[in-house]
Amino acid sequence: MQPASPRFGILDFDNDQLSSLAGYWNEGFSRTMIDDRFKELTAKRNDCTVSKGYQVYYPNNDGVGALRHENDWTAEQNLAADLAEAQCSDDIGYTQSVIDMVATYQQATIAAHQAELVAIKMALDRRVASAAELLTGLGLL
């Protein structure tokens, strides 16, 4: 029996009728990552982080960047860096702005694929019902 979850579990992407769900889920994030508004907001957060004495590195060469933690830092130093970046994020409403962008892109994906997503939901509902029946039969539910 292979576990299957639409988000965090294992899916057989070649054979599972739900395989497109992972792609739809990531579409909003992918489109956000290339949005100029996201890049500008992230650059603003990174500039703030640098102004607080921390470094930003660019692991994907995409201009987005991330807080650099040094290997020799103590737990307290790591926490101080994380808090500085978090304060920079909070000061510009970073998280809410990014999530708003993701939601807008995901809403467009939902609109474009509504019929397929309804079919996927029905398949997931059947899986949940089947799992509940199995667990009930085993006396676990």
Residue 42 domain boundaries: 24-113
Range 99-112 average pLDDT: 94
Domain membership of residue 104 (yes or no) is yes
Domain membership of residue 128 (yes or no) is no
The amino acid at residue 26 is: N
Alpha carbon distances (Å) from 92 to 15, 22, 60, 122: 44, 30, 24, 40
Q: Is the pLDDT of residue 10 over 60?
A: no
Range 104-118 average pLDDT: 93
Domain membership of residue 107 (yes or no) is yes
Based on the structure, what is the number of domains in the chain? 1
For the question of whether the overall pTM of this predicted structure is more than 0.75, the answer is no
pLDDT at 12: 53
User: pLDDT tens digits for 42-98?
Assistant: 999 999 999 999 999 988 877 788 899 999 999 999 999 999 999 999 999 999 999
Nearest-angstrom CA–CA distance, 89 and 82: 10
